[in-house]
Amino acid sequence: DTGVSQDPRHKITKRGQNVTFRCDPISEHNRLYWYRQTLGQGPEFLTYFQNEAQLEKSRLLSDRFSAERPKGSFSTLEIQRTEQGDSAMYLCASSFNTAEAFFGQGTRLTVV
């Protein structure tokens, strides 16, 4: 296993467009996390899955954000009607239960 992979690595989109990111976790990991990170800040929790169930979603997450993990393997994060404030690095991480989480390289989103 080569670790957590995310696609795309970079995305530039116009304000108002929809974007979708993909994360492939480490295969035996049952937990998958999405975080957003801006410059000089720690990763901000967005949502997480245990297998295919979405167990927690940040109260800061607007209804423009949705995530899925349909078969308990890969996950997608969609942002609808993007705004300039959505510009950030979107990080995916996976873990086996509460053991250490491993991060992907992230998707850098720029909304213009």
Partner 1 sequence: GQNIDQPTEMTATEGAIVQINCTYQTSGFNGLFWYQQHAGEAPTFLSYNVLDGLEEKGRFSSFLSRSKGYSYLLLKELQMKDSASYLCAVNGQAGTALIFGKGTTLSVSS
Distance of closest approach, residue 79 Cβ to partner 1, in angstroms: 19
**Cβ closest to partner 1, residue 14 vs residue 27:** 27
Binding site for partner 1 (CB under 8 A): 33, 35, 40-45, 47-48, 50, 55-56, 91, 93, 95, 98-106
Q: What percentage of the chain's residues is helix, strand, coil (to nearest 5)?
A: 5, 50, 45
The token pair at 21 is: 């990111």
Cα separation of 99 and 27, whole Å?
15
**Cβ closest to partner 1, residue 14 vs residue 28:** 28
Distance of closest approach, residue 17 Cβ to partner 1, in angstroms: 25
Distance of closest approach, residue 35 Cβ to partner 1, in angstroms: 7
Contact 84, 77 (CB under 8 A): no
**Cβ closest to partner 1, residue 31 vs residue 79:** 31
Contact 60, 44 (CB under 8 A): yes
